[in-house]
A and B are shown apart, each in its own frame.
Chain A
């Protein structure tokens, strides 16, 4: 079961903030966040493993609500280099979901000067 991301697209001006959400219908073991620029491979940003865990990477951070099976990616004071497509990947518990990393449809983020 693929996770669902929202919104599908975001347009920002430099310095503005954005939030990208990722939700799953199944219990999650981990959530992985990536950024992909056109013509390139997805770049790993961070992994969240525990319920309620939060992590940060420069001005990009994320939270994971295990009970709600949701994760959010927070981009603060956006820079032009943040433009790209953001994907969340999820790994479920047990059965056919064990160890299986599947991806949402992506959120296109565009930052203008």
Chain B
């Protein structure tokens, strides 16, 4: 198994642009989590899905953030419009164990 796959690994974008992060969970895992990691705030849970259904999105910081999981093998996290304070590493993880992808390092300039 290739593990949890995220793309892109790095993204640099200008303020105001739309950013889409992608995640492919491990086959057979029924839960998927999106986290944001910064030095100041640590690992923050943004949203999680169970069987493709969003269960808790209370961690999504603003309406600029949205996430979808159209099927069991794919999820996206979208930021529109992006702002410099969105700069962070975004991780996707799938469960039951909570296996992390390699992350996307987002820089908004």
Stretch at the interface among B15-23, B61-69, B95-103: B95-103
Q: Does B12 contact A (CB under 8 A)?
A: no
Give the residues in chain A near B102, CB-CB below 8 Å: 40-41
43-81 of chain B: CB within 8 A of chain A: 43, 45, 48, 50, 55-56, 58
Asked if A100 contacts B42 (CB within 8 A), the reply is: no
Q: Does A87 contact B (CB under 8 A)?
A: yes
Q: A41-B91, A42-B91, A106-B42 are in contact. Are A100 and B101 (CB under 8 A)?
A: no
Asked if B45 contacts A102 (CB within 8 A), the reply is: yes
Give the residues in chain B near A89, CB-CB below 8 Å: 98
Which bucket holds chain B's interface residue count?
Answer: 20 to 34
Give the residues in chain B near A93, CB-CB below 8 Å: none
Tell me the count of chain A residues lying within 8 A, CB to CB, of chain B. Answer: 19
Give B contacts to A, CB under 8 Å.
Answer: 31, 33, 35, 42-43, 45, 48, 50, 55-56, 58, 91, 93, 95-103
Between-chain CB contacts (< 8 Å), 15 pairs: A34-B100, A40-B102, A41-B91, A41-B103, A42-B100, A44-B98, A47-B98, A89-B98, A100-B45, A100-B48, A100-B55, A101-B33, A103-B35, A103-B43, A106-B42
Give A contacts to B, CB under 8 Å.
Answer: 32, 34, 40-44, 47, 87, 89, 96, 98-103, 105-106
